[in-house]
Amino acid sequence: MSHPRKKKGSGHALAASLALLLSSVTAPALAEGPTLSEEAFESSKQLYFERCAGCHGVLRKGATGKNLEPHWKKTSADGKVTEGGTLKLGQERLEKIIAWGTEGGMNNFSDIMTEQEIKDMATYIMMEPPKPPEMSLAQMEATRKVYVEPKDYPTEPLHGRNWENFFVVIERDVGKVAVIDGDTKEVLAHIPTGYAVHVLKASEHHKVTEPEHPGRFWYTMGRDGKMTKIDLWQKPENMLVAEVKIAYDARDVAVSGDGKYVIGGGYWPPHFAIVDAETMEPKKVVSTRGTNVDGEYVEESRVAAIYTTPNEPTWIVAVKELGQLWQVDYTDLDNLRIDKINSAKFLHDGFFDPTGRYFQIAANASNKMVVVDTETHKLEAMIDTAPLPHPGPGANWNDPNCGPVAGTTHLGEGTVTVWGNDPKNRPDDAWKVCYEVETDGAGLFIRTHPDSDYIWADQTKHPEPEVQQSVQVISKETGEIVKTIQVTDEEGNVAVHFEFNQDGSEVWVSKWNRATSKEPNGEIVVYDAKTLEEKARIKGLFAPTGKFNVYNRSNHVT
């Protein structure tokens, strides 16, 4: 199906970890109100942290997802009081929401949870939420493990392969990362990591402080807060070289421009930790609790995403609930400089423009893309978008009308929003919507390559399986959808996430099974980037999601 563009104006380690830490917290002894057996309470608590806390928060105060406290009260600026809560919704209504999802972007869980689990979860979220403990540097250090000493690292690759065209692939539901040879399509390793790795980052080429061998070392962040270090020069069986746990619930990680430090961001505790990139020794922890852009104190202000600025010796830390981007200077850890940049809620994920100066990130609850100038450490612009923007790793390209542009998909509707992002040469088009493309369904990811004529967008958030299982390819020249590709028609599978290979000749798409499986039932489908025809299917993978090409990621190819 082709749509013309619209012009402007148109369970696992995480659960076990938290269950252990919260083992002393049992079901509240209430005289009245919802109750669960101790076994059902523990099971629901475990499942909530696995499946729900990411959107709704550990304390259930909401972010991308709605507030799930038993009872809440809000007072608007004009003094109007609004009340709500899960108790008001009630058991039957909550069960339906959990089972079938909502039009606002919540997944249906009918194919992930059993009927009893859904029933227990509805009761559980009508009870007061348990609060997990904090985590100190000493506690982090106690979790550190070194499998290969830095002095024993090889001085050249031991496998004789083109490691810069390796793909590092998240095998989400089994807590592993696969390493695939992009030239031969061989799966070389399944590396144990933290539970449900959200993202991986490598050392990158940097304008100021160039690291040694960018892309060699990769760092993962599991939802259980475990950070692992992978050395792609090792033989496959020895690629996991070290690990450390920096939180109980976490999402992102980044490497300093000089390759000396790694930063990990926690959902709980709400903090970020800086570790030595070579030894993984924890060096500093900084709380992200604070006052949000509305002047309200937020206890659970989580680190949603972290990025290394290509031109400055800093990281960008997105503090989700505060609506702030913290630009953290890592040149002096003892006297850490942090510039806190107000923007909008709730910050999620983003990407840089081609110059590396401007950082573009989704504030999805505000329906905006936020732009920060990393040279001045100041807010540059905020761009209105369709509901719930979600660019993933994002996409930059040249448009015949607006010049250099960037784009995002949306969780809330089937739209790709495109805006100008070259304030130096195209100031009249910069940070203004150039056009929109109507797609068949809401999606999570958009991706392109400088040598490609196309932009790829998935439709994973659409409720109909047939649409979830297809991706759409958009022409850079016309802004029209030129092809809808049905990646799979297998029940329970969706098509998600894109990555180009080193030279931009191939596009890799994940065929991901939403249900947890102990068998390697996932695939990566490889397409010719010019003809859009299928070339290969890489099998033997466990629920593959995000894929990261070593060359593209370490060289800022978007």
pLDDT score for 517: 59
CB atoms within 10 A of CB 421: 29
Instruction: Please give the pLDDT value at position 270.
Output: 97
For the stretch 479-528, pLDDT in tens is: 999 999 999 999 889 999 999 999 999 999 999 986 555 678 899 999 99
pLDDT of residue 1: 42
pTM: 0.86
**Residues 6 or more apart from 103 whose CB is under 8 A from it?**
none
For residue 209, the model assigns a pLDDT of 86
The class level of CATH for 23-124 reads mainly alpha
CA dist., res. 419 & res. 391, Å (int):
13
DSSP-derived secondary structure for 265-281? EEEESSEEEEEETTT--
CA 422 to chain centre: 26
Mean pLDDT, residues 87-105: 88
Burial of 193 (0-12, 13-18, 19+ CB in 10 A): buried
Q: How far is CA 224 from the centre of its chain?
A: 14
Q: What is the pLDDT of residues 370-398, one digit of tens each?
A: 999 999 999 999 999 999 999 999 999 99
Maximum average pLDDT range among 66-80, 84-98, 502-516, 522-536? 522-536
- Would you state the pLDDT for residue 516? 57
How many other CB atoms are found less than 10 A from the CB of residue 44?
23
Mean pLDDT of 276-300: 97
Using CA atoms, how far apart are residues 388 and 366, in angstroms rounded to an integer?
8
Closest by Cα among 182, 144, 150 to 166: 182
- Cβ atoms < 10 Å from Cβ of 549: 25
What is the rounded distance in angstroms from the CA atom of residue 73 to the CA atom of residue 348?
A: 25
Arithmetic mean of pLDDT, 408-437: 98
- What average pLDDT score do residues 249-261 get? 95
Query: Largest Cα–Cα distance in the chain?
Result: 68
Write out pLDDT tens, residues 186-204.
999 999 999 889 899 999 9
Tell me the backbone φ, ψ of residue 341, rounded to 5 degrees.
-110, 115
Q: Quick one: tokens of 240? A: 């996991």
Percent pLDDT > 70 in the chain is 93
Give dist(CA 17, CA 14) in Å, integer. 5
Q: How far apart are CA 1 and CA 29, in angstroms?
A: 56
Assign 36 to helix, strand or coil.
Answer: coil
Give residue 222's pLDDT: 93
- pLDDT value for 27: 45
Domain residue ranges in the chain: 23-124
CB 225 within 8 A of CB 302: no
Question: Is 339 exposed, middle or buried, given 0-12, 13-18 or 19+ CB atoms closer than 10 A?
Answer: middle
- Residues whose CB falls within 8 Å of the CB of residue 78, separated by 6 or more in sequence, listed in order: none
- Which own/partner pairs from 216-221 qualify as long-range (CB within 8 Å, at least 24 positions apart)? 216/163, 217/255, 217/259, 217/277, 218/168, 218/548, 219/253, 219/255, 219/262, 219/277, 220/177, 220/193, 220/194, 220/253, 221/194, 221/197, 221/250, 221/251, 221/252, 221/253, 221/264, 221/265
Say if residue 2's pLDDT is above 50: no
Give the chain's end-to-end CA distance (angstroms, integer): 26
Burial class (CB in 10 A: 0-12, 13-18, 19+), 180: buried
pLDDT at residue 65 is higher than 70: yes
d(CA 444, CA 436): 16
**Average pLDDT score over the chain:** 91
pLDDT value for 305: 95
Q: Look at 2 and 122; give whichever has higher pLDDT.
A: 122
Q: Which residue has the higher pLDDT, 557 or 75?
A: 557
In angstroms, what is the C-alpha Rg of the chain? 22
Residues above pLDDT 90, as percent of the chain: 79
In angstroms, the CA 260 to CA 523 distance is 35
Which residues are designated catalytic? 52, 55-56, 106, 348, 390
Q: Which pLDDT belongs to residue 64?
A: 73
